[in-house]
Chain A
């Protein structure tokens, strides 16, 4: 079974530029999550989708971050414009269901973003 795929793996941009990350979850997984992991910290949730609908985006900085999950499969996360403090690893995860907190989330390898 293929895992969660993410691209690119690394990205370096200048502040005020825009950037986009792509995620392809495990086939059949209804729920998709984006997390931000700043160096030395644990991942922090940005947004949760179930199928193609947003379930929770309360921690997404909506003035600069946006995300979509068209057709309930792939997802993109965009930052525009980027700030220095956005330097982090962006993790995508998926799980089969959402309705139970017991479900295991499967993580992709992440995209390491450096903002100069």
Chain B
């Protein structure tokens, strides 16, 4: 079945460091790919998404490119801030059949940014 694998955390960085969180997926069909973020004490919210191969999603300085050849959707940010401390989830959306639209999530990566 479809699945998402993302790098284990926690990840601890200093402010202004470069961030990469790896995400790979296994899927049939043509899923859409998402990064959701969960800030402390808050609900899940969409960070960015990409709906087809080679699309780049971006938001708040974060970027991720849908790479079909490597089945990856790695999250990057050039300079992290303390306010980026959160748990980040990679997810795919099933693209066909009775499960269409259902999200399959990775286990999440906790990011802590130190001043």
Contacts and interface: CB of A to CB of B under 8 A. Distances in A.
B88 to A, nearest CB: 11
Interface residues of B, number: 29
A48 B105 contact: no
Interface residues of A, number: 30
A43 B102 contact: no
A93 B46 CA distance: 12
A25 interface: no
A44 B101 contact: no
B89 to A, nearest CB: 5
Interface in B34-55: 34, 36, 42-46, 49, 51
A109 B102 contact: no
Main secondary structure of the interface of A (DSSP, over half): loop
Interface in A4-42: 4, 31, 33, 35, 40-42
B20 interface: no
B43 A109 contact: yes
Interface of A: 4, 31, 33, 35, 40-45, 48, 55-56, 58, 91, 93, 95, 98-110
22 contacts: A4-B43, A31-B101, A33-B102, A33-B103, A41-B108, A42-B91, A42-B105, A45-B102, A48-B101, A56-B98, A56-B99, A58-B99, A91-B44, A93-B44, A101-B32, A101-B51, A101-B95, A101-B101, A104-B34, A104-B49, A105-B103, A107-B44
